[in-house]
Amino acid sequence: MILDRFKLDGQAALVTGAGRGLGRAMAVALAEAGADVAGLGRGAQDETAARVRALGRRYLPLLLDLRATHAADLSAVVAQVTAELGRLDILVNNAGVIHRAPVLDYSEQDWDDVIQVNLKAVFLLSQAAGRVMAAQGRGKIINIASLLAMQGGIRIPAYTAAKSGVAGLTRLMANELAAQGVNVNAIAPGYILTDFTSALHADPQRAPAILERIPAGRWGDPADLMGTVVFLASAASDYLHGAVVPVDGGWLAR
């Protein structure tokens, strides 16, 4: 049965930024499909943990600030997940930060912080998880890119650069790891209403302009990513490599 290929029973997933927003929705989606979940973040994950455990799945909270991590720290995270959950089959690189300022005024510190979390940590964690997955002959790495991997945007130069880099890294890792049974793909969310975008959603000028361009006629909800992440994590996507899948209400088609 085709629906059986979407099941994640007996698998273990690591989701960064799992404490809220998109990360929480995707962690819960993976648990609903049958996976145990490790959530990595720098804040409380109580609600995510409660929702995953209510489904009868294990939840492992890991406290780590990606703004100050190195390769050894992220290798240790992967080792802890495999030790405590017994395996690692799925990695979702969701955690991100954003700083908004005009390009001519953008600070070096803001640039470094955004690139560190949104690109460097994605590479290092994917590398560590990829080693485990390649050794076992299977695995799924799912990166969270952005519409800004295809467009420039305004007032977010480091974020645009990082998400463009995530899309490129997704393709490169797919090229190198596909033959070892590891799928590397990305989701490019559109304008999703979370804490991350609340200021933009409240902007009396930009919010109506954004909404006017979305063919679906609404901003997205974190739940709109749940089906896509389960598909990319499951056997149903075994022949999909290097794709950047927009979940954007039709924004890019406009």
Single out the catalytic residue among 59, 106, 159, 239. Answer: 159
Band of residue 22 on the pLDDT scale cut at 50, 70, 90: very high
Nearest to 21 by CA among 147, 170, 144: 144
pLDDT of residue 195: 84
pLDDT of residue 19: 97
Q: Compute the distance between CA of residue 129 and CA of residue 204 in angstroms, rounded to an integer.
A: 42
Band of residue 8 on the pLDDT scale cut at 50, 70, 90: very high
Check whether 105 has a pLDDT greater than 90.
yes
Radius of gyration of the chain (CA): 17
Identify residue 138 by its one-letter amino acid code. R
Q: Which residues lie below 8 Å from residue 93, measured CB to CB, with a gap of 6+? A: 16, 121, 122, 125, 126, 141, 142, 143, 144, 166
Mean of pLDDT values over 128-150: 98
pLDDT of residue 198: 86
Has 191 been annotated as catalytic? Answer: no
pLDDT by residue (tens digit) across 150-174? 999 999 999 999 999 999 999 999 9
Nearest to 27 by CA among 184, 192, 174, 225: 225
Provide the CATH topology of domain 2-245.
Answer: Rossmann fold (3.40.50)
pLDDT of residue 31: 99
Domain boundaries, the chain: 2-245
pLDDT of residue 218: 97
Band of residue 217 on the pLDDT scale cut at 50, 70, 90: very high
Band of residue 199 on the pLDDT scale cut at 50, 70, 90: confident
